[in-house]
Structure 1
Amino acid sequence: MAGRRATPTGRYGGRTAAERRAERRRRFLDAGLEMFGRGPGYRGTTVAALSEAAGLSTRQFYEEFSTLEDLLAELHLEVNDLAERDVLAALPSVEGLRLPERTARLFRAYAASITGDRARIRIAFVEIIGVSPRLDRQRLTRRARWVDYICAEAAAAAERGEIADRDYRIAATAFIGSVNGLLHDWSAGWVDATLDEVIDELVLMLMGRLHSSDVLSTPRPGSPGPESLGR
């Protein structure tokens, strides 16, 4: 077609066009992680500055991404995909463990991945917030996957008789909200604690929710008190 450049397919420098393009895309993603996660942040970054950081041109950026938002969206998914992969990889090592040890190890596998690079925390819990309705939907969709995972773990533990057999979806959602909120505030410097202290607190919180009593210690209005149960 006249006026349209053909996509190169041959080898150059020992690499195919697809390999060169993948490397170029990776350079933009790495520059985005650096600038969004450790530098001026998503809102403080321009296409020109990011392209310069990647050692590429703005024309090359627009061959890979339509907007900086697209790059941020891909980074957010990548951070979550890495954490999910690391949790799944940890599953064989927790087979046969009791729920407290199993839960602690799996959450620490998640935490080690998501916090292994502080830039990942900022991408996952800070920069993604309030960018657009599209990214809000993406963020909530990924949160829902983690809620589903916790519910599946809780259901398996209930089958083994380790915890009560009940619906844990509200508890799981509350916990994931706590993870997001606490890591956001810690990353912003609003929580005076080490990362290990933050992770320890989140593990205790999750275990507390999974082991919460079926019967509330403080009866709801209109419900029978403990002294009336069993009469």
Structure 2
Amino acid sequence: MAGKVRRPTGRYAGRSTQDRRAERRQRLLDAGMRLFGDSPGYRATSVAALCADAGLSTRQFYEEFRSLEEVLAALHLLVNDWAEQAAAEALAEASGLGLEERVAAAFRAYASAVTSEPRRIRIAFVEIVGVSPQLEHQRLSRRSRWVEFIRAEAEAAAERGEAAPRDYRLSSTAFIGAVNGLLHDWSAGWVDATLDEVVDELVLILLAMLLPPGRQTAGGPVTNG
């Protein structure tokens, strides 16, 4: 009917505003992964460069994020979420196996999620460090979450008689520190080893932390105690 005004539907070309915003946000995150996780890195990336890579305008950027730091924070959480989900799923799938097999499966799943793309390593272990007090708090909070993940699994194994019975808070913290430090240094080119060798070494460290004194692992005797 002539003169009839149609109500706005919130849809454009058959897509809702929410869907279009979700797509824009994902394009910005993908661009952040490319630029922060590779060259030029977070500190050398501008909003304009990120938007150009994503094929979006700066106006659209500020509709989704307040700053580049917020993009980096979101990417850091995503990488950690992927790794945590992978480790939890691997533990569930290996529930009927022995301690060594479960530990190796869980850590390798974690490592695969984090290292399947070199950009993820840089986001999680390099670019995030020292950016701001807010991001340091986020980084250390997620680190504490991983410490608790390891500690809880270790103490559950000890209750089943599979692991040495002791307080695992300090050793879990030390292990996560080793993971972060070694993957950071490997990513920076300071460790002369393949990624597989790095992961193998970390699995041995974790097993040495868990197994009772004198028990053998695939890599040799455990001498912790």
**Cα-Cα RMSD:** 1.8
Structure 2 unaligned spans of 5+: 1-7, 215-222
- How far residue 185 of structure 1 moved from its aligned partner, in angstroms, is 0.5
**Which residue does the alignment assign to 2:123?**
123
| Identical-pair percentage | 65
Q: Distance in 1 between matches of 2:9 and 2:191?
A: 52
Distance 1:9 1:205, change over 3 A: farther
Task: Extract structure 1 runs of 4+ deviating beyond 2 A.
Answer: 211-214
Q: Aligned residue for 1:95?
A: 95
TM score, norm. by length of structure 1: 0.87
Name the structure 2 match of 1:79: 79
Matched to 1:204, the amino acid is: L
For 1:157-176, list aligned pairs within 5 A: 157-176=157-176
Deviation at 1:212, TM superposition (A): 5.7
Contact 1:147–1:173 (8 Å) recurs in 2: yes
Check whether the contact 2:91–2:105 (CA below 8 A) recurs between aligned residues: no
Conservation of the 8 A alpha-carbon contact between 2:208 and 2:224? no
Counterpart in the other structure of 1:194: 194
Amino acid at match of 1:113: A
Distance 2:31 2:212 in 1: 44
Residue 107 of structure 1 corresponds to: 107
Q: CA shift at 1:164, angstroms?
A: 2.0
Instruction: Indicate yes or no: 2:155 matched with 1:155.
Output: yes
C-alpha offsets along residues 190-220 of structure 1, whole Å, 9 cap, x if unaligned?
A: 1111100000000001111112649xx899x
Work out whether residues 9 and 18 of structure 1, in 8 Å CA contact, stay in contact via their aligned partners in 2: no
Tell me what 2:3 maps to.
none
Where structure 1 has 5 or more consecutive residues not aligned to the other structure, the ranges are 1-7, 220-231
Q: Is contact 1:29-1:71 (8 Å) kept? A: yes
Size of the aligned set, in residue pairs, is 210
